[in-house]
Chains A and B, each alone.
Chain A
């Protein structure tokens, strides 16, 4: 699905990503962990084609990403920023309908078909009642869900998210992550960055640890339970405790 080969990127002299090679299958849920400035956002922006790598290639569905236009790429991947910085208010439904820009002709406006699809997507993420609300007046979690609905309308196979839960309250974090897990079951590949190792341990099939330009891919999360790799990433001693509540196993990271 997504194949990254020998990718390197630097801001001037500062190498953020060095010789990264990675294969991500469809239907996987991938979490990026690392300190601020470790290159999580940079990697997401590279995959999206918003930044150009110094060297290396990215393949999507067997096609070289840099040979595709933004329009072609948008059919394969969608992007959910940390926060949508809209200047002018619009209705949630109008915001979601924007996903059809890559399929409508230049001068066309979205019609009933597109609106219905957008409403369905809102229903799927559970916020169809907000469709006529102003995007500036809904909560951060509802905004994230609106953006997920927009991604669904984009009909892309890969969704990339920059810290989707960082500005959400606890219950909204869980609501959004549960939604991601449900999408994964439908075969969508999801890649998100996060500052919360507990949530990453719970909601992922695979974790990428990023530090000083090096990226380590952890496929078996049990490897992280001794806390050594996490301690190294965050630069302080971290212990991972496993607890059980209501028959569910949870991992909790404790900084010592």
Chain B
């Protein structure tokens, strides 16, 4: 079903100018990221001009006094910088995670949220908050739950006769709903005065309250998860072949697939542990990436996180400036992501009928 739709992605990147084209795509999206980065500083309740921004970013680490108010310096360095970087990291991690899942499951319709992995991570995080575990423990618990759900979903898809894709998606929806009802149960028994609001607000997905410590803590799993994926990117292309073919080409397809899924799960679960459920980024951004640059994992593995970082930086800027109180970022990504998903399905339907 996916083939018809994907055909058109490729056309854009194949052909004699492909190399030039992919280089220019990287450049455009690096600029887009820088643009969203700067924009994120300029917009907000405490206005800062572009010139001020550059001045403050340069003068503070060099210990120069260029006459900026301590308030402005604090807004740039202590509030906006960690938050903007966090938005970029989370967007990048989710987009890479979704891309890898779409690649190794050989299915462009999956993502960490579609197949229930983020729901499971959310349950893990809620459980950790309920049990009063320290903040640094939220991440491992979320990861373990996500890994458990992925294992279950993978087993279900293997046991599904004939259509493994259907098994994967239906199994994912089922496992996801099991974990979201477990999360509801956690909320039910949580103390309604402090823990319940903490869990509820946390799961809505927000980057408010990001500091350097959380930035440091999230970057560890993100580096562990992404560096091997960058290195394995060519070999991951072989997993888009049917398993028998990959095996006869000498690839240990099972081991490679499980490794990649584990790393992708680590990436998405760690974002859940720090920022709650930020849905749909992992589904939509890899699609956009393939439309721009084609399906070669060697390229998409870099471009997808880059686009995801820009996207979430912009969304987060909107979320904290569109109304007088901040809107949780997960609400905005779902509002944008689900219509896009429907659009993809509709487009496929049209092509199949055509």
Binding site for B on A (CB under 8 A): 45, 48-50, 69-75, 77-79, 81, 84-91, 94, 98-99, 101-102, 104, 106-110, 132-134, 136-137, 154
Identify 7 new A-B residue pairs, CB closer than 8 A, beyond the known A74-B250, A81-B242: A48-B248, A70-B252, A79-B245, A87-B108, A88-B295, A106-B235, A109-B298
Nearest neighbor of A153 in chain B, beta-carbon distance: B249
Q: Which of B108, B249, B252, B298 has the most CB of A within 10 A?
A: B249
B237-A98 in contact (CB<8A)? yes
Residues of B within 8 A of A88 (CB): 6, 9-10, 103, 108, 240, 290, 295
A90-B252 in contact (CB<8A)? no
What 3 pairs across the A-B complex have the smallest Cβ distances? A102-B250, A74-B250, A89-B10
Alpha-carbon distance between A79 and B250 when the two chains are bound, in angstroms: 11
Q: In the complex, what's the smallest C-beta–C-beta distance from A91 to chain B, in angstroms?
A: 6
A89-B6 in contact (CB<8A)? yes
Q: Which residues of B1-26 have CB atoms within 8 Å of chain A's CB atoms? A: 2-3, 6-7, 9-11, 14-16, 18
Count of residues in B whose CB is under 8 Å from the partner chain:
38
A101-B249 in contact (CB<8A)? yes
Residues of B within 8 A of A72 (CB): 250
Residues of B within 8 A of A74 (CB): 248-250
Residues of B within 8 A of A101 (CB): 235, 238, 249-251
B242-A133 in contact (CB<8A)? no
B9-A89 in contact (CB<8A)? yes
B290-A50 in contact (CB<8A)? no
Residues of A within 8 A of B15 (CB): 132
Would you call B232 an interface residue if the criterion is a C-beta within 8 Å of the partner chain's C-beta atoms? yes
A81-B249 in contact (CB<8A)? no
Alpha-carbon distance between A73 and B246 when the two chains are bound, in angstroms: 12
Would you call B65 an interface residue if the criterion is a C-beta within 8 Å of the partner chain's C-beta atoms? no
Knowing A89-B10, A106-B235 touch, does A70 contact B298 (C-beta < 8 A)? Answer: no
Residues of A within 8 A of B7 (CB): 89, 134, 136-137
B249-A90 in contact (CB<8A)? no
Alpha-carbon distance between A91 and B232 when the two chains are bound, in angstroms: 19
In-complex Cβ contact of A84 among B241, B247, B251 (8 A):
B241
B244-A136 in contact (CB<8A)? no
A84-B242 in contact (CB<8A)? yes
Residues of B within 8 A of A99 (CB): 249
B14-A132 in contact (CB<8A)? yes
Alpha-carbon distance between A81 and B129 when the two chains are bound, in angstroms: 51
Q: In the complex, what's the smallest C-beta–C-beta distance from A87 to chain B, in angstroms?
A: 5
Would you call B340 an interface residue if the criterion is a C-beta within 8 Å of the partner chain's C-beta atoms? no
In-complex Cβ contact of A102 among B106, B245, B249, B296 (8 A):
B249
B242-A85 in contact (CB<8A)? yes
Residues of A within 8 A of B242 (CB): 81, 84-85
Residues of A within 8 A of B18 (CB): 91, 132
Q: In the complex, what's the smallest C-beta–C-beta distance from A185 to chain B, in angstroms?
A: 24
B232-A106 in contact (CB<8A)? yes
Would you call B88 an interface residue if the criterion is a C-beta within 8 Å of the partner chain's C-beta atoms? no
Alpha-carbon distance between A213 and B235 when the two chains are bound, in angstroms: 38
Residues of B within 8 A of A87 (CB): 2-3, 6, 106-108, 240
Residues of B within 8 A of A69 (CB): 252
Residues of A within 8 A of B235 (CB): 101, 106
Alpha-carbon distance between A90 and B2 when the two chains are bound, in angstroms: 15
Would you call B294 an interface residue if the criterion is a C-beta within 8 Å of the partner chain's C-beta atoms? yes
Nearest neighbor of B247 in chain A, beta-carbon distance: A70
Alpha-carbon distance between A110 and B231 when the two chains are bound, in angstroms: 12
Q: In the complex, what's the smallest C-beta–C-beta distance from A53 to chain B, in angstroms?
A: 17
Residues of B within 8 A of A109 (CB): 233-234, 298
Q: In the complex, what's the smallest C-beta–C-beta distance from A127 to chain B, in angstroms?
A: 16
Alpha-carbon distance between A210 and B307 when the two chains are bound, in angstroms: 55
B295-A98 in contact (CB<8A)? no
A70-B234 in contact (CB<8A)? no
A70-B14 in contact (CB<8A)? no
Residues of A within 8 A of B233 (CB): 109
Subset of 15 A-B contacts with CB under 8 Å = A48-B248, A72-B250, A81-B245, A87-B106, A88-B6, A88-B240, A88-B295, A89-B10, A90-B240, A90-B294, A101-B238, A106-B235, A133-B14, A134-B14, A154-B249
Alpha-carbon distance between A50 and B231 when the two chains are bound, in angstroms: 28
Q: Which residues of B146-196 have CB atoms within 8 Å of chain A's CB atoms? A: none
Q: Which of A89, A90, A102 has the most CB of B within 10 A?
A: A89
Nearest neighbor of A99 in chain B, beta-carbon distance: B249
Nearest neighbor of A133 in chain B, beta-carbon distance: B14
Alpha-carbon distance between A45 and B245 when the two chains are bound, in angstroms: 11
Q: In the complex, what's the smallest C-beta–C-beta distance from B103 to chain A, in angstroms?
A: 8
Alpha-carbon distance between A75 and B250 when the two chains are bound, in angstroms: 8
A107-B232 in contact (CB<8A)? yes
Chain B 314-349: CB-based contact to A (< 8 A → 1; otherwise 0): 000000000000000000000000000000000000
Q: In the complex, what's the smallest C-beta–C-beta distance from A88 to chain B, in angstroms?
A: 4
Q: In the complex, what's the smallest C-beta–C-beta distance from A93 to chain B, in angstroms?
A: 10
In-complex Cβ contact of A50 among B6, B237, B238, B244 (8 A):
B244
Q: In the complex, what's the smallest C-beta–C-beta distance from B263 to chain A, in angstroms?
A: 14
Nearest neighbor of A91 in chain B, beta-carbon distance: B14
Q: In the complex, what's the smallest C-beta–C-beta distance from B254 to chain A, in angstroms?
A: 10
Alpha-carbon distance between A71 and B106 when the two chains are bound, in angstroms: 22
B296-A90 in contact (CB<8A)? yes
Q: In the complex, what's the smallest C-beta–C-beta distance from A49 to chain B, in angstroms?
A: 8
Chain B 65-86: CB-based contact to A (< 8 A → 1; otherwise 0): 0000000000000000000000
